[in-house]
Chain A
Amino acid sequence: MSSWITSNVWLVPATPIVVALLILGIGKTARMTSAILAVIGQLAALTMSIFAFVPTLHTHGFRAVENFTWFTFGDQSLRIGFVLDPLAAAMMLMITLVGLCIFVFSIGYMHEDKNFSRFFAYLSFFSGAMLGVVVANSLLLLFISWELVGLASYLLIGFWIERPSAAAAAKKAFITTRIGDMGFFVGILWLYHQSGTLVFYDNGHGCLEPAALAAIGSSVTLVALLIFCGAVGKSGQFPLHVWLPDAMEGPTPVSALIHAATMVAAGVFLVARVYPIFSVGAIDGVTPSLEVVVWIGVITGLMAALIAVAQSDIKRILAYSTVSQLGLMMVSLGVGGVAAGIMHLLAHGFFKALLFLGAGSVIHGLHHEQDIRKMGGLRKLMPITFATYAIGMMALSGVPFFFSGGWTKEEILHATEHWPQSHVPHYLMLAGVILTALYMTRQVIYVFFGQPRAASSHAHESPRVMTIPLILLAACAILFSIVLTPA
């Protein structure tokens, strides 16, 4: 089974996309059918991801590559395929697992919405495109999937098309990420011009392998920074962070899936994927392009944490928190802690999705009230939501031992402490971590503790279809720390 999957990894992104087309085909009225189809598709992708993940654990430096020649023009050819290595496999697992929880949650959250089937079609399409980004075998295929992810994000943020604010937010998201993608595209063109190939691993001729990296020569910093532009746009780094808070106009499951767990993770994933280009000629693990990554991450992390302290919309706090955490991840990648950064990415995917879904449960229970100053005392009225939200909050704040966030943040701070270039990122990120604990505690106290304020008086706990994914994600947030404990 595992060997069949490792040679057919392309099925993992293809399944949700086929499901999305099927759902669009069956029409608006088949509501439950579309939801069940979407969940089955995601479950199939999850199963395949698990089977694909297992062999990557056994062998050190595992990499399964498949480059299929689609068509040739002249003496060049377009090759599509996949790369399966521990990075891709772990990302696939996180995306499918978090996606499955969110799909099930959406059945309850979007229950009264009249565009129920369209929502699941878009969710499946997004899931397939994101998986495509993760397993792509060449920068071209990655870019194509990248743009499809941006399209899916536009469709999902602006899902409630009657709202002008949602349409404006969707436009803002698309245009801002497009600006980053322009830089990304120029970087791809330049890389192709210098090295002659965009395929990652190609029996020694791939663009991430030493031969091509040497051919790029002195412009490798510029190429790396241009590719980083795409990551800046997609992951909401400064100065292209402006779209993330406005993207909260979309339904909460969308915020959980796209802007917490997966799409914004694509930028961090991109930097990790093309890390050889960033680290060419590294002296002590420092290159000019990596320095830029660190500083932009630092600015983003600190700035967003400061803004989050002053927010009063429950989802905006989480949105700025996401921007801040992504900054932290970029810092980690920049100082050389690639494994730590990716571990934080995976853990963050779990607990941020948990937090967003918990916020969705709160919003649903309070009949679409989102201002935390009008909430309070929900600890007794929505106990399961409170418990899972508290677990997510402690994981995000980095409470040690039991919660995965604590381990990963410790790793990152450890890596920044040993950066030869400067100690400023370490201290600023430490401040960011403290601020994270501050605003999350503030949010939890406002929402769950104290006396019930305006909207909370008639709150009720969410149905089981919404609380079970919460419990599952909370379990993942805790269990992930078992993986991370230095054994």
Chain B
Amino acid sequence: MSAVAFVIISILTLSAALAAATNPKLMHAALSFAVMFVGISAFFFLLGAEFVGLVQIFVYIGAVAVLIVFTILLTRHDQEKTRGFNWSGVVISIAVFAGLVWAILGTKSLSVAPGRFAFVSVRRIGELLMINYAWPLLCVGVLLTAALIGALILVMEDKRE
């Protein structure tokens, strides 16, 4: 794991996240949101979880970010910019960040070096999903089905009236 890669990826991710959170233009914010997920996926690659990184690209960038872009296009009004920025949010988030950093730096046991690197193959993940984690897998399946049906019902137009 190289420090240079870490610095570059974290700069990319954090600046894209900041752009997504503060840019008044919706489309630009949504697109930097997608860039941020590329950075997070790169983090996963750096940490040795390549499968999760790829799933992240498929699901978040390929589905969630695209969904958000679609929704922005469907709910467009006259104004493209959004008015209103609540400054108390900045204060709260800075306070939360400060608290988290204080907690992290205060815990001695977190300054550890990476452990032995063992490659996690997709086959292993599949085996675990089917054998050890079968019950959570089924629950997530039910959840996704429910979300799918629920989203459809929410958006379906009432033809009866």
Residues of A within 8 A of B (CB): 71, 73-75
Contact = CB atoms under 8 A, between A and B. Distances in A.
Interface residues of B, number: 4
A73 B52 CA distance: 13
Interface in B100-124: 119, 121
6 contacts: A71-B45, A73-B50, A73-B119, A74-B119, A74-B121, A75-B119
Contacts of A74: 119, 121
Contacts of A73: 50, 119
Contacts of A75: 119
B119 to A, nearest CB: 4
A464 to B, nearest CB: 40
Contacts of A71: 45
A180 to B, nearest CB: 21
Interface string B42-63: 0001000010000000000000
A73 B49 CA distance: 9
| Top-6 shortest CB links A-B | A74-B119, A73-B50, A74-B121, A73-B119, A71-B45, A75-B119
Nearest to A73: B50
B70 to A, nearest CB: 17
B82 to A, nearest CB: 24
Nearest to A75: B119
A74 B124 CA distance: 13
Nearest to A74: B119
A73 B50 CA distance: 8
Contacts of B119: 73-75
Nearest to B45: A71
A75 B119 CA distance: 8
A240 to B, nearest CB: 25
Contacts of B45: 71
A73 B47 CA distance: 11
Nearest to A76: B119
A74 B119 CA distance: 5
A73 B45 CA distance: 9
A392 to B, nearest CB: 42
A71 B121 CA distance: 16
Contacts of B50: 73
B19 to A, nearest CB: 15
Nearest to B48: A73
A73 B48 CA distance: 8
Interface in B4-59: 45, 50
A9 B50 CA distance: 30
A309 B121 CA distance: 58
Nearest to B118: A74
A389 B119 CA distance: 61
A34 B119 CA distance: 46
B40 to A, nearest CB: 17
